[in-house]
């Protein structure tokens, strides 16, 4: 139990700790130099057999050596842990600015979600969704809706005729077998009245076609929403209340509509429906300091057409106009999307560029 022996044991332990390059190596060195079978532990056990004087001395030396060893161990342990933590922070760092989804979730087109949003307003009031074909019999698109045979809307410059045009390109007005791409969703009114039991409360979102060139404010294919309510005792105030409810639900509780006289063959009386400009709420009117681009400072935005269903339409569809009455309206979804979201060019809606649709979000 020479002092040099004990120093050697201590120094070997200190060297082993210093040489340990990681926490595993340090753990092994710890077992070897401080464990029950380590040289210093064995030496400690031998102290008991020494004579008193030597015992005290050896005890002190070994105690000091073991104290130095455990201090060195704790120091190296702390060093290696700090090193590991620093390394882990670097190695396991996550770059939160990297794109997180390499295959971004898709979303439906804002026109689709807009149509559903409008339809939902009516579904929640008990209306049913109705649909009709886009390739439609001329009879449903025009005749059943009281368009006279030479009504200008039947001209080929407005209507895509699929079948039933004359050599000179004019529609065959006396041929009921004509087939057109529907120019509005109103033929679904006639279909619903023929198909369903009364009363009828339907909403019909759908695609319609007109022979317009694609430009900033026209597209030959666009979308409308049609509403039809036929029951006993319905009046124009029911129409007005329904319109007001719709714009409140879509644009806010302080919204309202106004009606201006107009003409449609299938409604009588007919009206053009406007809604309060949802941007300026009418405040731009007579207020040159606060002009409104959305409504051109008119205070109102034109939504579409409406009216009380013409009794002639009811008769054409086998409904007794003495007993039943009702109202209908229809409007374009593209236009609504344009002023609701400040879309300036209708072409953006049909070109399919995701840079247009993305800001509308991932609504599904
Ligand atoms: N179908 C008409 C249009 O396309 C709109 C409308 C629908 C008018 C229902 C009155 C009633 O312009």
Give the mean model confidence (pLDDT) for residues 288-292.
Answer: 92
Indicate whether residue 307 lines ligand 1 (CB < 6 A): yes
Q: Report the predicted TM-score, pTM, of the whole model to 2 decimal places.
A: 0.71
3 is written with which tokens?
């002092």
Q: What is the DSSP letter of 48?
A: G
pLDDT category of residue 193 using cuts at 50, 70 and 90: very high
Q: Is 329 in the pocket of ligand 1 (CB under 6 A)?
A: yes
Q: Where are the domains of the chain?
A: 3-91, 110-360
pLDDT at 259: 97
Which segments within 250-309 are labelled E, that is strand?
257-264, 267-276, 300-309
Tell me: pLDDT of 173 over 60.
no
How many Å apart are CA 330 and CA 335, to the nearest integer? 12
* CA–CA distance, 269 with 209 (Å, rounded to integer): 26
What ligand 1 atom has the least distance to the C-alpha of 186? 1
pLDDT score of 124 more than 60: yes
pLDDT in tens, 3-56: 888 999 999 999 999 999 999 999 999 999 999 899 988 888 888 888 888 888
Q: For residues 17-47, b (16+ Cβ closer than 10 Å) or e, as one string?
A: beebeeeeebeebbeebbeeebbbeebbeeb
Task: Check if the beta carbon of residue 336 is closer than 8 Å to that of residue 247.
Answer: no
- Ligand 1, atom 4: closest residue by C-alpha: 184
Q: Which of 63, 82, 76 is nearest to 16 (CA)?
A: 76
Residue 268 annotated in ligand binding: yes
**Number of alpha carbons in the 13 Å side-chain half-sphere of residue 114:** 23
Q: What is the pLDDT of residue 153?
A: 77
Q: In this predicted structure, what is the pLDDT of residue 3?
A: 84
Mutate to test the pocket of ligand 1, among 192, 264, 334 (most ligand atoms within 8 A of CB): 264
Q: Which CATH class is domain 110-360?
A: alpha beta
Decide if 113 contacts 360 (C-beta within 8 A). Answer: yes
Q: What are the tokens at 72?
A: 């060195």
User: 186: Cβ below 6 Å to ligand 1?
Assistant: yes
- According to DSSP, the β-strands at 128-129 and 267-276 are unpaired
């Amino acid at each position: 139990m020479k002092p040099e022996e004990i120093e050697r044991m201590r120094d070997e332990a200190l060297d082993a700790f210093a040489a340990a390059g990681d926490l595993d190596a340090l753990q092994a060195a710890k077992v070897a130099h401080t464990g029950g079978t380590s040289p210093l532990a064995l030496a400690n056990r031998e102290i008991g057999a020494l004579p008193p004087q030597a015992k005290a001395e050896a005890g002190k030396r070994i105690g000091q050596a073991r104290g130095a060893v455990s201090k060195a161990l704790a120091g190296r342990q702390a060093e290696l842990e700090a090193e590991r933590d620093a390394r882990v922070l670097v190695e396991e760092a996550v770059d939160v600015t990297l794109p997180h989804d390499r295959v971004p979730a898709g979303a439906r087109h804002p026109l689709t979600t807009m149509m559903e949003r409008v339809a939902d307003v009516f579904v929640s009031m008990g209306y049913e969704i109705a649909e009709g074909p886009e390739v439609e019999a001329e009879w449903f698109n025009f005749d059943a809706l009281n368009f006279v045979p030479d009504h200008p809307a039947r001209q080929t410059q407005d209507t895509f005729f699929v079948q039933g045009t004359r050599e000179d390109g004019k529609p065959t007005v006396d041929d009921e077998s004509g087939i057109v791409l529907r120019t509005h969703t109103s033929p679904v009114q006639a279909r619903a009245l023929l198909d369903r039991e009364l009363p009828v409360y339907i909403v019909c979102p759908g695609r319609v076609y007109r022979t317009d060139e694609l430009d900033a404010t026209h597209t030959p294919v666009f979308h409308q929403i049609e509403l039809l309510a036929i029951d006993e005792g319905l009046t124009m105030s029911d129409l007005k209340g329904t319109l007001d409810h719709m714009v409140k639900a879509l644009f806010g509780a302080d919204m309202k509509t106004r009606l201006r006289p107009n003409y449609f063959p299938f409604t009588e009386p007919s009206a053009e429906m406007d809604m309060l400009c949802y941007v300026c709420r009418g405040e731009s009117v007579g207020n040159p300091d606060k002009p409104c681009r959305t409504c051109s400072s008119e205070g109102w935005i034109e939504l579409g057409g409406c009216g009380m269903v013409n009794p002639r339409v009811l008769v054409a569809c086998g409904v007794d106009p003495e007993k039943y009455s009702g109202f209908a309206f229809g409007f374009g979804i593209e236009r609504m999307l344009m002023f609701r979201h400040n879309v300036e060019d209708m072409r953006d809606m049909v070109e399919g560029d995701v840079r247009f649709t993305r800001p509308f979000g991932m609504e599904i």
